[in-house]
Amino acid sequence: MRELYACQLLLTGDEESPGDTLNRAERLIREWVSRPTHLAPEFLIEGQHEASGGHTVAVSRYAPTEDGSSGWSCLWHFPGTDDPSVRWTLSLALAAQGKAACATVRIGLQQRSHSFQLRRPNYQFSAPAIVRTLLREFEVSDAGRPTRPTHTTLRTGDIPEFVEWLTNDQRALPVVVATNYPSTGQPLVDLRKLAKELSGLAHVVHLSTHLAARALSNRVGAERSAWQGAVRLYWPKFKADANPYEHKYWTPSRLLEDDEALIDELRRWLGSVSAASVPENPALGWMRAARRKALAESGDIPHWVQEYIETTDAELRGLREERDDLKEDLAAALTDVAAMREQYALVSQYSTKPAADDGQSATPRDANVSTLTAPEAYEHAKAEIGDDLVFLPSADASIKKFSEYRDPEKLHRALLDVADAGRRWGDGTLGKPFGEFFADLGYGYSAKNPAARDRRHKRHYEVKYKDNPVVMEPHLKVDESTGPDQCLRIYWYLDESDKVIVIGHVGRHLPD
């Protein structure tokens, strides 16, 4: 059987007696299983049950003992709807641990056929709804932070506490961090659906502003952060000096192509890792031991058979230990393969001269800017700037038309200076007006432009930002060459609410 998903939750509540939490969780699971099987919940307390549609349910119970141990398990088999040769197995187990209950949920897949046929099984699966129910009904925490079936939104002031938890060695689940795409002000992935599909597998966090993304970058380093629509996954044991390739990163361009692919990829990938990592629920071991003890005390079997059973049990324990070691190796291999793929993808993206999807050449961070074209210098500056500026698609389009500009190094330097001004303005450390700041650096600057309000020319100054039209008036006069293809201007819009400079045009002087 191939396991596709597993999660383990330590459920706590305000119940007074040790078994109350387990009993309430058991009742919720029985009600959930009863709906598709059409078996009454009271039938699912113990025993074997068959239902229409090929459903079979086996329920076992471990009676409370003197030390307070008690347990309940349910093994549910049913055929696949898309492929008759596929058979699903859901394993649900509960073990009382003081006033808490350890809940384990696993999804397995078997391909059953009467004839040999080497092919991929046809199936679709999602995180079980019962996991979200348990997360809503009980308190579940991970290194002191609640585990929820929904995403958490963070602002700038939340980042210090978040990073402290992110680097906590006791954190057990990975964290998926999503950021806003500049032109829409929203993430490129459906966070509600993402959190739903990763219930029990990962925490989903949304950085609500570019300042929050910047604060994260300041604490863990830009190469380990995410901004401008990117998504990043942080494994447990993450540290501020970690290898960035080990913590998978999805660029905005990948998400713009297909955001649904990210959700499916994360569910399948984290599901496989969790299936190889989540240990067996304690209740299952207690039940096996109880059955062996009852069999030994029955006196109905010869002594030599009892010895054979004991020998077989010892071999099984050894096999289980070997299986657990192999599962740990598999989980490590899955994460290592993902890290190598990520490193290959990012290195390929920023190699010296491969063509990017938009026809421009990606550039490495240590490139000699003087040897680059203007579009390459622009892309190189964007990679260095990160989330200190927002670059709109209109800016990307404008630099393509300005590809013959003769001084890419000046273009690169100007963009970094604008980013420096934007960072200082956002942090409240600029200390002077923009005009004075840029004059000190040798640039001309205009905060207002009458042409932006002129009926004939205003369309050239209007751009779309967060799904609303805005007007670019502030602009930097970088190069005053007389030729139209050499007169460099950088136009932007000031987002006063998010305190960020939004670049809408990099290229020739706009009409006035």
Domain definitions of the chain by residue range: 2-139, 141-257, 369-508
Assign 3-state DSSP to the chain and report helix, strand, coil percentages, each to 5: 45, 25, 35
DSSP H helices, 350-407, are 374-385, 393-400
95-119 pLDDT, tens digit each: 987 788 999 999 998 877 666 666 6
Q: Which two tokens stand for residue 99?
A: 């006033």
pLDDT at 462: 93
DSSP H helices, 58-181, are 129-137, 159-166
d(CA 166, CA 160): 10
Query: Under DSSP, is residue 501 helix (H, G, I), strand (E, B) or coil?
Result: strand
46-70 pLDDT, tens digit each: 899 999 888 999 999 998 877 778 9
Buried b (16+ CB within 10 A) or exposed e, 454-493: eeeeeebbebebbeeebebbbbbbbbeeeeeeebbbbbbb
pLDDT at 65: 79
Q: Does 3.40.50.1000 match the CATH number of domain 141-257?
A: no
Burial degree of 346 (CB within 10 A; 0-12, 13-18, 19+): middle
* Cβ–Cβ under 8 Å, residues 456 and 436: no
Helix (H) or strand (E) holding 1: none
pLDDT at 254: 83
d(CA 343, CA 365): 15
* Cβ–Cβ under 8 Å, residues 162 and 205: yes
- Is the backbone of residue 144 left (phi > 0), alpha (psi -120 to 50) or beta? left
Counting every residue written for the chain, the total comes to 512
> Number of H helices and number of E strands within the chain?
13, 22
Per-residue pLDDT of the chain (512 residues; tens, 9 = 90+): 788 999 999 998 776 665 789 999 999 999 999 999 999 998 898 899 999 888 999 999 998 877 778 999 999 999 888 777 788 999 999 998 778 899 999 999 887 766 666 666 677 788 899 999 999 999 999 999 999 999 999 999 999 999 999 999 999 999 999 999 888 889 999 999 999 999 999 999 999 988 899 899 989 988 899 988 999 999 999 999 998 888 888 888 888 888 788 999 899 889 988 988 899 999 998 898 888 777 777 666 666 666 666 677 777 667 666 666 666 666 666 666 655 665 555 555 444 333 333 333 333 444 567 788 899 999 888 888 888 899 999 999 999 989 888 889 999 999 999 999 998 898 888 999 999 999 999 999 999 888 888 878 888 999 999 888 999 999 999 988 767 678 899 999 999 988 899 999 999 888 87
pLDDT at 342: 55
* Cβ–Cβ under 8 Å, residues 390 and 502: yes
SS (H, E, C) 402-467: CCCCCCHHHHHHHHHHHHHHHHHHHHCCCCCCHHHHHHHCCCEEECCCHHHHCCCCHHHCEEEECC
Q: One-letter amino acid identity for 423?
A: R
pLDDT at 339: 58
pLDDT at 29: 96
pLDDT at 178: 96
